[in-house]
Structure 1
Amino acid sequence: MVTDDLTRAAAARATRWRDARVVDVTHHGDRGVVLRLDVPDRIPHRPGQHYVLRLRAEDGYTASRSYSVVSAPSEDLVELYVERIPDGEVSTFLVDVVEPGDLLETRGPIGRWFVWDGRSRALGIGGGSGVAPLVSMLRHAHEIGRPELLSLAVTARSAAELPYVDELRAAKALVALTRVNDLPPGPTRLDAAVLGALVDPGATVYLCGSTRFTLAMETHLAVGGQPASTIRVERFGAGVAPG
């Protein structure tokens, strides 16, 4: 009963809006930004969860977007990766305007489906900024001393466009570059043959990226024999509010 009460209390705290202070801003070229936030009364997240950021105009208009947590649960600051969306009303502000010391309205951590417990085998597959929650899983795996439980396969058009590329390569993630393959001898695509070699019916698959990407990956995984019941998907794109 005490545990249930604590769980309910934490969930209630996660749904409340609070002002988080921006501690650090690191730009990823002109494509995105890494934000590190000091969230008051922070609830430790689980790898795969996300935060919602809300912007408020002087006339009272608000716009909010969700961003996966990149940091490990043990880290003091909440790290988020924001990809610039053309004409995006939230992402362009976060990438171009936000500076250390600013306050951002936040709510989280949120999500129960797309989370990894760090105790069982997992395969993470991400496209572009979809690698963000997988990096959180990667950092957690290293902190608990179980990196062998997590395999990663990620893709982008080039190394310059792949967030956290150095960290992913250091962890021996399979990196596929579709336009500029400047990290030989990696593959140019995550196709059926590549994913077929990674299929593990005993693992949970965490698949994150655009709608088109995730649908293609689900097909490749099914052809390779990965049970559909083991695949958890987080999509962005069609049907999701832009930027």
Structure 2
Amino acid sequence: MAGGMDTTARRTLRWQAATVVGIRDEAPRVKTFRLRLERVSDHLPGQYYVLRLTAQDGYTAQRSYSVASAPDGSDEIELTVERLDDGEVSEFLHDVVVPGDVLEVRGPVGGWFAWTGDVPALLVAGGSGQVPLAAMLRYARDRGRPDLVRMLVSVRTPDDLYAGLDGPEVTVVHTRRAPLDAPRPPGRLTLADVAPLVRGGETAYVCGSAAFAGAATDLLAAAGVPDTAIRIEQFGPTGG
């Protein structure tokens, strides 16, 4: 997470049990895990939970995962996890965990990248960076304010686009393979993709790899978005 003040409440730093109540495939090598918590989640879109695994010998491993679901006042959240090669946590979640299993989590954590749902936002996602920004889009729709959000998603192929990321608020760019009816050929984001989505006065949220975040930030700046209005969340090659 880059910059800003963390508004995490002290109680969110306590570990709690999370029961797996559902698992679904989201994309190749990507699954979404629905968890029932011991207490109601009061997260904002863009925040994350830390998930911890403990082996019988006491060894622990933990990773942070953005919440994919919009706040709904319930005790359930969804975490979308990409399976990474040699990722000890993501491999365990994908290959071992089944509904009924109990995991440990703490959160929600983070304040800088969170969206309150009442101000305009431009969401720019690359790859697995779709997760927290999808939560923002879902929150806007749930509140009846989809007009607040414009979303630009960059994925390699149509198969890599997560469920629900369609509709008039969403523009999709394919970098490797595009559908036959796509409005542009495959290729990386350009200023022509970004500029039409900038209205002025919005906060831009960028999430993806370090390389993607850097390129997207440069394009946003070229399109007239002030540096102070850009918030970045980077996903590195670790975090498995």
* TM-score scaled by length of structure 2: 0.91
Q: Which residue of 2 aligns with 1:181?
A: 178
Q: Which residue of 1 aligns with 2:132?
A: 133
Partner SS for 1:179: coil
Q: CA deviation at 1:170?
A: 3.0
Q: CA deviation at 1:12?
A: 2.1
Q: Which residue of 1 aligns with 2:46?
A: 48
Matched letter for residue 223 of structure 1? A
Long gaps (5+) in structure 1: 1-7
Q: CA deviation at 1:134?
A: 1.2
Q: Which residue of 2 aligns with 1:82?
A: 81
Q: Equivalent pairs: percent with the same residue?
A: 47
Question: 1:126-205 counterparts in 2 under 5 A?
Answer: 126-164=125-163, 167-182=164-179, 184-187=181-184, 188=186, 189-205=188-204
Q: CA deviation at 1:229?
A: 0.3
Partner SS for 2:79: strand
Question: 1:1-243 counterparts in 2 under 5 A?
Answer: 11-74=9-72, 76=74, 77-164=76-163, 167-182=164-179, 184-187=181-184, 188=186, 189-237=188-236, 241-243=238-240
CA deviation digits over 1:77-121, x for unaligned, max 9? 201100111111111111111100001110111110001111111
Higher relative contact order (CA 8 A, sep 6+): 2
Q: CA deviation at 1:42?
A: 2.6
Partner SS for 1:205: strand
Q: Return the alpha-carbon distance in structure 2 between the equivalents of residues 225 and 148 of structure 1.
A: 20
Partner SS for 2:175: strand
Partner SS for 2:200: coil
- 8 Å CA contact 2:27–2:162 kept in 1: the answer is no
Matched letter for residue 61 of structure 2? A
Q: Which residue of 1 aligns with 2:3?
A: none
Where is the helix percentage greater, Structure 1 or Structure 2?
A: 1
| Equivalenced residues, count | 231
Partner SS for 1:169: coil
Matched letter for residue 22 of structure 2? D
Q: CA RMSD in A?
A: 1.7
Long gaps (5+) in structure 2: 1-6
